[in-house]
Amino acid sequence: MYSSIIKLFLVGVIFSIIITCVDSLSSINTSPIDTYNVPNLNNKVAIVTGSSRGIGKGIALELGRAGCTVYVASRSSRSTGFTSTERDLGEDNKDCTIERTCDEINNMIGNGKGISVPLNVANDDEIAALITKVKNDCGRLDAVVCSAFTTPPDLNDSSFRDDFWKQGAEMWNACHDVGLRGTYMTCCESVPLMIETAKNYNTRPLIAVISSFGGKSYTFNVAYGVGKAGCDRLASDMAVQLSKHNIDTVSLYPGVVKTEGNLEMDKRGEWAAASGGLDLNMGETPQFTGRAVATLLSKPDLTKKSSGDVVVVAELAKELGFSDIDGSTPQSIRNLKFILPSFVFPQIEKQSGAPLPTWMVENVPDFLLPWSVFSSGPPPTAD
């Protein structure tokens, strides 16, 4: 929970900024319009790990839509007969495989191509074999997106947020073996080919590490936060060594994402306890992060400037003016437009026993908490 100072800050914002702004603000009901312009990434080659489902799949789809040749790499594959059972994805998602992702890419209009490669990023030899295949097939590698992550134990209930000494090595290994070590080894194997690509094609390859707000502020549990902070530092320190080779790195922060697993948890009534009260209705689709990656890859001047930095997907979308696939514009988790409706307003209504005025709920100011404030303590929960 935020400190009392932060609580007072938020409450003060509600009653000072909103009241002063309300006369000049009005609610206009319009249908969302998709403002995304698909970039031209023809001839570029990308690897996306963890792309049989979730955020990784959303990224692979959008890179394919933009014209990339995408190596869709994950464990779940029709060819091997292995399908991850770590999460119950529901009856509609029994075939969350790399082949299904590739089918969706290859059925799109355009030049994008999906190539399925069974891959366990916990296996160094398999990573090396993937890079050899890409080099032999294409001779270049423009983007590596590290999205593979092992589903932690006890994700479906509140014990996912339990004390670290009760979770022990199992939680630590789940959060670090694939999500951090596997990411590091994927980058180690990929960089030599990316250096060649930068030299031979006069381009700036990009490494995108999928992290989360847990890298900045306490989220879920200790092991999870340490793993995400490690991803952020990995992107930052790699940028130092890769700058002389014209390769850029970013650590990407999606918000609350409507993955297959999260949507199914919500259907079963497990989402609120596991997430600490995050509102999935305010969430993003996996393709929203994909649009961010595709846009970044098409803007080398921006990636050069941002190399080594944390990039929040929702904040990048606002800066560059693109929407989610349904035309919506999801808010950053550190924006008052997310924090107040998700946590502060419900607590005020619970304590007062009365709903807040409509004008207040509908006119929350668009204001980002500074990282120094956001990182000063654990975020609020709906508990």
Judge whether 223 and 175 are in contact, CB under 8 Å: yes
Mean pLDDT, range 340-358, rounded to an integer: 88
Give the pLDDT confidence of 199-209 residue by residue, as tens digits: 999 999 999 99
- pLDDT score of 6 more than 70: no
- pLDDT score of 5 more than 60: no
Give the pLDDT confidence of 104-162 residue by residue, as tens digits: 999 999 899 999 999 999 999 999 999 999 999 999 999 999 999 887 766 666 778 88
Measured distance CA(242)–CA(237) in Å, rounded: 9
Beta bridge partners of 74: 118
Which structure tokens are listed for 286? 């996996």
For the chain, give the percent of residues with pLDDT over 70. 88
Long-range CB contacts for residues 18-24, cutoff 8 Å, separation at least 24: 18/360, 18/363, 18/364, 18/365, 21/363, 21/365, 22/359, 22/360, 22/363
Beta bridge partners of 33: none
* Cβ-Cβ contacts under 8 Å for 219 (sequence gap 6 or more): 212, 213, 225, 228, 378, 379
Judge whether 364 and 340 are in contact, CB under 8 Å: yes
Question: What's residue 381's pLDDT?
Answer: 58
Give the pLDDT confidence of 279-298 residue by residue, as tens digits: 888 899 999 999 999 999 99
Question: What's residue 286's pLDDT?
Answer: 96
Judge whether 329 and 292 are in contact, CB under 8 Å: no
Please give the order of strands across the beta sheet that includes 45-49: 113-118, 69-74, 45-49, 143-146, 206-210, 248-253, 309-312
pLDDT level of residue 29 (50, 70, 90 thresholds): very low
Could you give the angle at the alpha carbon of 16 between the alpha carbons of 12 and 17, nearest 5°? 110
Judge whether 251 and 192 are in contact, CB under 8 Å: no
Measured distance CA(360)–CA(19) in Å, rounded: 8
Measured distance CA(238)–CA(364) in Å, rounded: 38
Beta bridge partners of 48: 72, 145
Question: What's residue 297's pLDDT?
Answer: 98
Measured distance CA(102)–CA(105) in Å, rounded: 5
Beta bridge partners of 368: 335
For residue 155, how many other CB atoms are within 10 A of its CB?
18
For the chain, give the percent of residues with pLDDT over 90. 62
- C-alpha pair distances (Å), 368 with each of 4, 156, 299, 364, 365: 19, 30, 24, 12, 9
Which structure tokens are listed for 333? 């988790």
Judge whether 286 and 255 are in contact, CB under 8 Å: no
